[in-house]
């Protein structure tokens, strides 16, 4: 991707990877949210139901925004709705400050 913003999604141990160009408009924050939402959409079409799944992100801002009670961004709200349509969501934090979500995808 020579110009603009993009996202990358990779699944450990699987032959799945995806990169998408988002053009020049989205911020890095929006790209992080869109990446999480894109993976949630992939779960819907995959065979990951009733399996533990981790979504890792180095964007503390994106994860905190998705934990919010009130949403100031339509992008964040849409991602939150997609995640909640496919998963039971629990957020964990490691002591070093790494952020990830650990959840079970349920039908």
Question: What one-character-per-residue DSSP string does 40-97 give?
Answer: HHHHHHSS-TTSEEEEEES-HHHHHHHH-SS-S-HHHHHHHHHHHHHEEEEEEE-TTS
pLDDT value of residue 55: 72
- Per-domain residue ranges of the chain: 5-105
CA–CA gap between residue 104 and residue 107 (Å, rounded): 10
pLDDT value of residue 91: 47
pLDDT class for 1, splitting at 50, 70, 90? very low
- The β-bridge partners of 5 are 23
CA–CA gap between residue 27 and residue 62 (Å, rounded): 12
**Residues 80-95 pLDDT 10s:** 888 877 765 444 444 3
Contact status, residue 57 vs residue 63, Cβ threshold 8 Å: yes
Average pLDDT for residues 5-25, to the nearest whole number?
74
pLDDT value of residue 35: 85
Average pLDDT for residues 19-25, to the nearest whole number?
80
**Residues 34-62 pLDDT 10s:** 888 888 887 777 766 666 667 777 777 88
């Amino acid at each position: 991707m020579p110009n603009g913003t993009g996202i990358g999604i990779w699944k450990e141990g699987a032959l799945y990877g995806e990169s998408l160009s988002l053009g020049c408009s989205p911020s890095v924050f929006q790209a992080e949210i869109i990446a999480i939402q894109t993976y949630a959409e992939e779960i819907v079409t995959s065979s990951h139901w009733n399996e533990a799944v981790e979504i890792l992100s180095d964007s503390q801002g994106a994860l905190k925004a998705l934990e919010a009670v009130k949403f100031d961004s339509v992008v964040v709200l849409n991602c939150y709705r997609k995640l909640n349509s496919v998963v039971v969501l629990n957020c964990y934090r490691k002591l070093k400050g790494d952020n990830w979500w650990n959840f079970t995808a349920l039908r």
